Amino acid sequence: MIDIKVLRTQPERVRDNIRNKFQDSKLPLVDKVIELDEEYRALKSKADELRAKRNAVSKNIGALMAHGQKDEAEAAKAEVVAINKELESLASREPLLEAEIRKIMLTIPQFIDDSVPIGKDDSENVEVERFGEPIVPDFEIPYHVELLEKLNGIDIDSARKVSGNGFYYLKGDVARVHSAIISYARDFMIDRGFTYYVPPFMIRGEIVDGVMSFGDREAMAYKIEGEDLYLIGTSEHSMIGMFIDTIIPEEELPKTLTSYSPCFRKEVGAHGIEERGIYRIHQFEKQEMIVVCNPADSPYWYDRLWQATVDFFRTLDIPVRTLECCSGDLADIKVKSVDVEAWSPRQKKYFEVGSCSNIGDAQARRLGIRVRSKDDKGLKYFAHTLNNTVVAPPRMLIAFFENNLEENGSVRIPAALQPYMGGKAKIIAP
């Protein structure tokens, strides 16, 4: 959510940003907010004037009574009653205007960074850099569900009977690899100085509105029936929500956190065969990284976060690339974002396994996350927040098993993961 003061003084800048995101249908909202904001401020000014007048008239009533001017005093009392009625009318209108302005402001996109490429959708995202040599082996690599079935490591049919489409049972060594990767990711981030958390897996509606782009709630989030609670789609949501309405001393920044959670997403829409199986699912687990920092430091932390994911995947012998998200592919709440994509030898292309985002002050402004400067003035300002996926199995298992598959059907266990697999160096196909 942008600062409404910027919208008042630089409306054309706001419009240009909307155009750069190819959301021209939102252009009328700028004038609508300006109109509502003017009404709101006029209402506040009128209310202040009425309160001042009421105080003056009330103060004079005692003097009139003391001088025996009873009729004038009664007239003054009647005027106070009339002023109070008008104030009540203004007071009832004020929260309605506030709510309407906030609702619209939540739909107006955050200012994108100047470095973001301008494009309509993900087809215009820009490759930045590749890490590791993408290899296509001489032997055929099965579809990922078939590959895991040959390892006796997955049961989708039973999951479909129990929970429906978009769910799975992992078992045996495949399930063990899944857990090992999460444990390794946790320690990988702890070793980089991040504090480990296991957060709540449900959050209240006001937190959802504070951390997600407007409209994502219905498209993505599962609501608990009869309660103001939603299952999280990522632990970033509850981790950022932890700082709601707080003032952080500047000397305590940055907050560098890594969190584990299950994640739940509706994933509405039809998907091709490559996005079935365990690629696009309703339930998965993830290790996340979150940073709350000084605005001047957010570009530095943005680069550190995506680099951490690249480094993690390379320790597992998985080639990856970074892909800069263009303006039209950026969620409204984001300033800048880069996807980390892993190489699929079977598909002979890269696919997304994580996303690193600089949110700027959008979440902080919505949730009231402020910083108190450490100088004598003690000024307060909104923090910047960033998030990035360390790893999100089971999707990344596709890349893991494809890139470490041997011709005889066995799967190599990279050295970094072996301590979490009881020293196993290989999974042997039964």
pLDDT digits (tens, 9 = 90+) for 136-190: 999 999 999 999 999 999 999 999 999 998 899 999 999 999 999 999 999 999 9
Residue intervals of the chain classified under CATH 1.10.287.40 are 4-107
What mean pLDDT is predicted for residues 209-232? 87
Nearest to 372 by CA among 364, 360, 383: 383
Which pLDDT score, from 0 to 100, does residue 280 have?
84
Q: What is the pLDDT of residue 238?
A: 97
Residue type, 182: I
The two structure tokens encoding residue 34: 């300006």
Does the pLDDT value for residue 260 go beyond 80? yes
CATH architecture of 4-107: Orthogonal Bundle (1.10)
C-alpha distances out from residue 427 to 66, 137, 140, 315, 424, Å: 98, 18, 18, 18, 8
pLDDT at 66 over 50: yes
- Give the torsion sign (CA, 269, 273, 277, 279): negative
pLDDT tens per residue across span 273-317: 544 688 889 999 999 999 999 999 999 999 999 999 999 999 999
pLDDT grade, residue 34 (50/70/90)?
A: very high
CATH 3.30.930.10 intervals, the chain: 122-427
Over the chain, what is the mean pLDDT? 93
* Amino acid (one-letter) located at 89: S
**How many Cβ atoms are within 10 Å of 345's Cβ, its own excluded?**
17
Amino acid at 232: I
For domain 122-427, the CATH architecture is: 2-Layer Sandwich (3.30)
pLDDT at 418: 98
